[in-house]
Amino acid sequence: MNVSPEQDDKADLVSIAADIVSAYVSNNPLPIGELPKLIGDTYAALQGIGTPVPPTAVKQEPAVSPRKSVTPDFIICLEDGKKFKSLKRHIATHYNLSPDEYRQKWNLPADYPMVAPNYAAARSALAKASGLGRKAEAPAPVVTETAKRTTRAAPAEARATVVKSPSKKPRKAPVSA
């Protein structure tokens, strides 16, 4: 009797399904009415093993509207809805996205901020107060040799009254933890 390869494969699947179901039923209580459904489900699952599952293209919805995600004091992450002053580190560590990839994923404009506006203004004011962003000041005028000679030396009495303070060891800076 000649058996086609398709029939042989079906017989193998039936045999494997029977083995799986018998092992399951021997260790788990199952109502008799559920047995045919379990056999059918197991057989269907075994048939689907060789076929690739098509990827489901689920479009992710943002947690909040992109318009509402930018407020003066914080930025809301469109991935999870959490509030941040600076979004860059969060999206890099949790979602492995760069700011450009994040903007592209959510169809945001290139000028979409990654930092809350008030936070950016405060950092800008702090930087300006500390002198960052200014051009270097013009160097002091160079004193020539002739200018050095024309200045008068201090009288000897004035030089003698200058007293040096005793030398002190500089304090060690406190170590911060």
- What would the DSSP string read from start to end of 37-82? HHHHHHHHHHHTTSSPPPPP-PPPPPSS-TTTTB-SS-EE-TTT--
Confidence at residue 78, expressed as pLDDT on a 0 to 100 scale: 94
Q: What is the domain-level CATH number for residue 121?
A: 1.10.10.1550
Cα→Cα distances 12→6, 40, 137, 173, Å: 10, 15, 87, 78
Shared domain for 71 and 99, answered yes or no, is yes
Rounded average pLDDT over 11-29: 89
Q: Is the pLDDT of residue 1 over 60?
A: no
Q: Is 69 domain-assigned? A: yes
Task: Say if residue 70 is in the same domain as residue 126.
Answer: yes
The reply to whether 119 and 93 lie within a common domain is yes
State how many domains the chain has. Answer: 2
* Domain span holding position 80: 60-130
- Mark whether 37 and 84 lie in a shared domain: no
What integer is the mean pLDDT of 70-90?
95
| Residue 35, in any domain of the structure | yes
- 161 located within any domain: no
Integer angstrom CA distances of residue 46 from 8, 13, 20, 39 = 14, 7, 10, 11
CB-CB contact of 55 with 47 (8 Å):
no
Q: Are residues 94 and 37 in the same domain?
A: no
Q: Does some domain include residue 98?
A: yes
Q: In this structure, is residue 83 part of a structural domain?
A: yes
- Domain limit, last residue, from 107, 130, 153: 130
- Same domain? For 91 and 65 the reply is yes
Does this model's pTM top 0.85? My answer is: no
Residue 111 in any domain: the answer is yes
Q: Is the pLDDT of residue 89 over 90?
A: yes
Task: For residue 86, tell me if it sits in a domain.
Answer: yes
75 shares a domain with 31:
no
Could you report the per-residue pLDDT of 126-138, keeping only the tens digit for each?
999 998 888 877 7
**Helical residues (DSSP H) of the chain, grouped into ranges:** 5-27, 35-47, 88-95, 99-105, 117-129, 145-150, 156-160
